[in-house]
Chains A and B, each alone.
Chain A
Amino acid sequence: MTKLHQFDVVVVGAGGAGLMAALYASRTAKTAVISKLYPTRSHTGTAQGGIGAALGNLEEDHPEWHTYDTVKGSDYLGDQDAIEFMCYEAPQAIIELEHMGLPFDRTPDGRISQRPFGGHTNNVTGKPVRRACHAADRTGHMILQTLYQQCLKNQVTFFDEFQVLDLILVNGRTAGVVAVELATGEFHTFHAKAVIFATGGHGRIFEVTSNAYSYTGDGAAIVLRRGLPLEDMEFFQFHPTGIYKLGILITEGVRGEGGVLINGLGERFMSKYAPTVKDLASRDVISRAIYTEIREGRGVNGQNYVWLDVRPESVNQYAAMDGRTNPDGSPYTVTGEQILTKLPDIIDFCRVYLGVDPLTEMMPVQPTAHYTMGGIPTNKYGEVVIDEKNTVLPGLYAAGECACVSVHGANRLGTNSLLDLVVFGKHAGLKAAEFAKHADFEALPAHPEEEVRAQLEALRNGSGRENAFEIGREMRKVMFEEVGIYRNERGMRFAIEKIHELKERYKHIRVRDTGRIFNTELLNAWELGNLLDVAEVVAESALNRTESRGGHSREDYPDRDDQNWLKHTLIWKRNGHTEISYKPVVITKYPPKERVY
C-alpha cells in the first residue's frame, strides 16, 4: 500500500534551511516538511561558533567587507553576485532571528554580541573583525530550536522520521517525492507542485569527520540518480580542529577567543603561514598548515595531531604579543571563568571524550572532514539549475549544505554556513510558494514508488557474502587518505578504482532484518548506497581539476590556475559513467588576485 498526500510545497529535511524554507513557504502555500530525523536532531544543531553578519555591534564593519572576505575565502570560485546578495541580506536575517526569540549572547548595552572568526577581517587594517553573532558555542542549536519552535507556532505540517527515497520528475518538471515512513515501513507518495531539498551534506564519506551519522548525501544522490548534475563536488572543507581521532568539532570560536595552535616543538606555527591573522586564517589554509607540520615531523610525539591551546595564561600571553585589544582599546585578557562561559560545550566535549580540561591542558586536534561546499546547483533564489546555461528545472529548489549557489566556492568561511541556510532557506521557501501559486500539479506516474521499491528489495535479496559495515569502513578510509586534504593523481585513481570495487561488492550485501517497523538496517544500507554514489563523483571531480584552489589541494598541481580553472565543475552520472562539464564563475567587483592572510 502506498499512501498519497498532496501539498503545494514539500520541504525535504528539517535543519536550518528546511525549517526556514517551511516557515516562509507555509505563509502562503500548503506546506509539508519531511525529515528522516525529528527536526531537533538535525545537524544544524551541532554548529557552534556563530553566524556571520556585518552588524557592527562592537566595531566598524560593512556588508561590503563581508562580501570581499567571502569572495577571497572562496579562492575566487564563489559567484560574486550571490555572495553579495547573502552578505547584504545578513544583518536583516540576524535581526529577524532575534525577533523570533533566538537567545543570542549580549553586549553590555544589550545588543547581539559578536566575536572574531577565521577569514573575517577589517578590510582597511586586515585585522580580524568581530562579525560572528553567537550564543555561547551552541549557536546552531539555538537557531535550530528557534526555527523549529516558530514552525510549531505557525502550525507547519511535519512528517517526522520519514525517509525520502526519490524525487518524482515528469516531463522535466517536479511532481513530488516518494518517502518511506520509518515507524511502519509504508511508502508515501507526496504529490507536490514544488519540492525543496534541504537534505544536508555528505561528510560521512570520510573516516574522520565532524558530521552526523545521518549526513549521507541523500539529496545529492537522489538528484544524481535522476539525471541531474552536481556542482563543484571536489570542494570539501576540512576543519582544522577536530578532536584527535574522533573528529568532533572544536569551534573556530576557540581561536576567536584567543586560542592558538601549537606544534610538537611548542611553536605557534600559524605565524609562519599567515603572518597577519595567524590562527584566524581561513580553514583550508590552517588545515594544510597543520598537515604540513605533521608531515614534516612536528606533530606531537610523532603522532598525527597538534595542540590547540586556550588556557587563559596562553591566550593572554599571545594576545599581548599580537597587541590585541578590546573594543575600548584596553589590552585583551581573559580568565578561565570567561572561557568557560563562552565555550562551555567545547570544555564539556574535551572533558567527556578526552579526559582533558582545556582550562589547564592543551587539546589534541587534527583536521576533520566538515562541510560540503559543492552540491545541487542553484541560483540565488534557490531554484535548481541543471546545465551550463543555468536553465531552471521548474518546481525544484535546494538550500543549505546540499545546495551549491555558489557562495562558498572552493572554501567556506566559518559562520557563513548558518548564514547561507537562513538566507537561502528563506528565499527558496518564498520562491517555491510563489511558483506553487501559479503552477498546476503535474500528473503523477502510475506507480511512482516502483523504482525505490525495487532498490530496497535488491538490498534484501543480495547474496549476503559482503558486509555493508565493512564496505562503509573501506570507503571512508580510502576517501580520507586519498581524496582528503592533499590529493594527487595516483592516489585519486586508486580511490576511484576502490569505490568502483566497493560499488560492485555493495550489490552483494543482504539486509537480514525482514521487518517493516524501524528497519534501520535497511535504511543504513540504502544510505550507504548514497554515500558510494556521492564519493564517486567527489573523487572524479577532484581528479579532473588539475589545479589547487581553496579546499582542493593537489600535490601534483600545487598552484591555482585561473587561466584554465576559474570555472565551476558540473558532473552527471549517465549510463553508468560520469560526465563533466563547466560553467563560468560570476565575477562582478573583485577580480581574482593572490590570496594571502
Chain B
Amino acid sequence: MQVTLKIFRYHPEVDKTFHYETYVIENAQETDRVLDLLEYVKGYYDGTLAFRRSCAHGVCGSDAMRINGQNMLACKVLVRDVGTHITVEPILGLKVIKDLITDMEPFFENYKKVLPWFINNSPLPEDGRERRQSPEERARFDDTTKCILCACCTTSCPSFWASDDYLGPAALVAAHRFIFDSRDEAAAERLKIISETSGLARCHTAFNCTLACPREIQITKAIAELKLATITGRV
C-alpha cells in the first residue's frame, strides 16, 4: 500500500525556521511501524532526517513523537493504527534541536528533582537476606514502576506547555513509584518537594498524560493518589 508521510524538518545549521517535507512510500505494509517508515525515508530518500530510536519495540523510550497530533512511540504504532496519511512532528514543550530530536535535558532535570532513587537508611535484615515485602505491598506501586521516561506524558500536558517549571507527569510518576513502596523511607521528603508550586498543584486533571502513556500507566490516578497523600499525610 501507499503511505504518505509528512515530516517536520528543521536543521539548525541551515534552516531559519522549520518546514514540512512529504515523502511517499509505495510498498508499505499495514503492519509496518511508523519507525520502519522513518528508517526507510532516512535510508532511501533523505539520510539527513534525524530522530532518536533504539530498541524498536516500545521499551527503551527513545522515539516519542507526535504522530497525527498525538504523542506516541514511533516503534509502537503501526500503519493500520494511524492510516495511510501520517504526520510526524517532535514532541511539544521541549526545544527542538533538529528534525524530530528535542532537548531532553529539562525533562531529566525534572525527574531528578523528586529524588527518584530508593532511600532506606535502616539496618539491613540481620539474616543478610532481602527486605520483606508482601505481594499486596508490591502491587501498590507496580503501575508506576513501568515508566520508561519517554516523555510522551509530560509533553502532552497543557500545564507543562504553559509552565517551564512544572515538574510534569513523568517526574510525579517517579515520585509515586517510591512514595508508595513500603520499603522506602523518604515519602515525606518527596511529598514536600511535589507539594511546592511547581508540583502537584499544576496538574489540572486534563488526562492527556494517561492517554499518551505507551506503557498504559494510569498517570492521572497516580497523581490523584499523590494529591490525597499530601492532604491526609498518609500513603
Contact surface of A with B, Cβ cutoff 8 Å? 37-38, 40-43, 45-46, 94-95, 98-101, 103-112, 135-136, 138, 141-142, 145-146, 149-150, 152-153, 183, 212-214, 246, 248, 345, 348-349, 352-353, 355, 467-470, 511-513, 515-521
- Give a binary string over B27-52; 1 marks a CB under 8 Å from any A CB, 0 the rest: 00001010000010011101110111
Q: Shortest CB–CB separation between residue A519 and chain B, in angstroms?
A: 8
Chain A residue contacts of B101, Cβ below 8 A: 518
Judged by a CB distance under 8 angstroms, whether B56 is at the interface is: yes
Q: Shortest CB–CB separation between residue B159 and chain A, in angstroms?
A: 24
Which of B57, B78, B135, B216 interacts with A106 by CB under 8 Å? B135
What are 21 A-B pairs with beta-carbon distances under 8 A? A37-B60, A103-B142, A103-B145, A107-B135, A109-B132, A110-B132, A111-B132, A135-B145, A152-B116, A153-B119, A212-B60, A213-B55, A352-B58, A352-B78, A353-B31, A467-B43, A468-B47, A511-B47, A515-B98, A517-B97, A520-B42
CB of B148 within 8 A of CB of A141, answer: yes
Judged by a CB distance under 8 angstroms, whether B20 is at the interface is: no
Chain A residue contacts of B50, Cβ below 8 A: 513, 518-521
Q: A517-B97, A521-B48 are in contact. Are A46 and B132 (CB under 8 A)?
A: no
CB of B60 within 8 A of CB of A41, answer: yes
Closest to B182 in A: A110
CB of B42 within 8 A of CB of A103, answer: no
**CA gap between A107 and B129 in the complex, in Å:** 14
Q: Shortest CB–CB separation between residue A455 and chain B, in angstroms?
A: 18
CB of A111 within 8 A of CB of B118, answer: no
11 other contacts beyond A110-B133, A141-B59, with CB at 8 A cut-off? Answer: A40-B60, A41-B60, A103-B141, A138-B59, A214-B54, A248-B57, A348-B58, A469-B39, A517-B11, A517-B97, A521-B48
**CA gap between A353 and B58 in the complex, in Å:** 11
CB of B76 within 8 A of CB of A149, answer: no
- Give a binary string over B183-225; 1 marks a CB under 8 Å from any A CB, 0 the rest: 1100000000000000000000000000000001000000000
CB contacts under 8 Å to A, within B119-133, are 119-120, 124, 128-133
CB of A212 within 8 A of CB of B129, answer: no
**CA gap between A42 and B149 in the complex, in Å:** 12
**CA gap between A152 and B181 in the complex, in Å:** 19
Chain A residue contacts of B55, Cβ below 8 A: 41, 43, 45-46, 212-213
Chain B residue contacts of A38, Cβ below 8 A: 62, 104, 108, 149
CB of B117 within 8 A of CB of A149, answer: yes
Contact surface of B with A, Cβ cutoff 8 Å? 11-14, 31, 33, 39, 42-44, 46-48, 50-62, 76, 78, 80, 97-98, 101, 104, 108, 112, 116-120, 124, 128-135, 137-138, 141-142, 145-146, 148-149, 178, 181, 183-184, 216
A-B pairs with lowest CB-CB distance, top 8: A101-B118, A469-B43, A110-B132, A149-B117, A153-B117, A513-B48, A521-B47, A41-B60
Chain A residue contacts of B62, Cβ below 8 A: 37-38, 41
**CA gap between A111 and B134 in the complex, in Å:** 8
**CA gap between A150 and B55 in the complex, in Å:** 23
Which of B54, B118, B134, B138 interacts with A149 by CB under 8 Å? B118
**CA gap between A101 and B135 in the complex, in Å:** 15
**CA gap between A367 and B133 in the complex, in Å:** 37
Q: A103-B181, A213-B53, A352-B76 are in contact. Are A98 and B131 (CB under 8 A)?
A: yes
Which of B101, B118, B216 has its CB near the most chain A CB atoms (within 10 A)?
B118
CB of B54 within 8 A of CB of A37, answer: yes
Closest to B39 in A: A469
Chain A residue contacts of B129, Cβ below 8 A: 95, 111
Q: Shortest CB–CB separation between residue B149 and chain A, in angstroms?
A: 5
**CA gap between A531 and B135 in the complex, in Å:** 44
**CA gap between A348 and B146 in the complex, in Å:** 13
Q: Shortest CB–CB separation between residue B151 and chain A, in angstroms?
A: 11
CB of A103 within 8 A of CB of B138, answer: yes
CB of A152 within 8 A of CB of B130, answer: no
**CA gap between A105 and B130 in the complex, in Å:** 12
Which of A45, A149, A214, A512 has its CB near the most chain B CB atoms (within 10 A)?
A149
CB of B56 within 8 A of CB of A515, answer: no
Chain A residue contacts of B98, Cβ below 8 A: 515, 517-518
Q: Shortest CB–CB separation between residue B113 and chain A, in angstroms?
A: 11
Which of A149, A246, A512 interacts with B47 by CB under 8 Å? A512
CB of A46 within 8 A of CB of B57, answer: yes
**CA gap between A114 and B141 in the complex, in Å:** 20
Chain B residue contacts of A46, Cβ below 8 A: 55, 57, 59-60
Chain B residue contacts of A519, Cβ below 8 A: 50
Chain A residue contacts of B130, Cβ below 8 A: 94-95, 98-99, 104, 111-112
CB of B183 within 8 A of CB of A101, answer: yes
Q: A146-B118, A213-B54 are in contact. Are A99 and B124 (CB under 8 A)?
A: yes
**CA gap between A183 and B146 in the complex, in Å:** 28
Which of A152, A213, A214, A353 interacts with B117 by CB under 8 Å? A152
Which of B51, B58, B117 has its CB near the most chain A CB atoms (within 10 A)?
B117
Closest to B101 in A: A518
Q: Shortest CB–CB separation between residue B42 and chain A, in angstroms?
A: 7
**CA gap between A387 and B118 in the complex, in Å:** 42
Chain B residue contacts of A152, Cβ below 8 A: 112, 116-117
CB of A45 within 8 A of CB of B118, answer: no
Closest to A344 in B: B146
**CA gap between A42 and B54 in the complex, in Å:** 8
Q: Shortest CB–CB separation between residue A379 and chain B, in angstroms?
A: 28
**CA gap between A138 and B184 in the complex, in Å:** 21
Q: A512-B48, A517-B98 are in contact. Are A142 and B145 (CB under 8 A)?
A: yes
Closest to B59 in A: A46
**CA gap between A105 and B133 in the complex, in Å:** 9
Chain B residue contacts of A40, Cβ below 8 A: 60-61, 148-149
Which of A42, A104, A246, A467 interacts with B60 by CB under 8 Å? A42
Q: A40-B149, A41-B62 are in contact. Are A349 and B135 (CB under 8 A)?
A: no
Chain B residue contacts of A95, Cβ below 8 A: 128-130
Chain B residue contacts of A110, Cβ below 8 A: 132-135
Chain A residue contacts of B149, Cβ below 8 A: 38, 40
CB of B54 within 8 A of CB of A212, answer: yes
Q: Shortest CB–CB separation between residue B90 and chain A, in angstroms?
A: 12
CB of A515 within 8 A of CB of B11, answer: yes
Which of A104, A109, A516, A521 has its CB near the most chain B CB atoms (within 10 A)?
A521
Q: Shortest CB–CB separation between residue A340 and chain B, in angstroms?
A: 12
Closest to B47 in A: A521
**CA gap between A214 and B13 in the complex, in Å:** 26
Chain B residue contacts of A516, Cβ below 8 A: 13
**CA gap between A183 and B50 in the complex, in Å:** 12
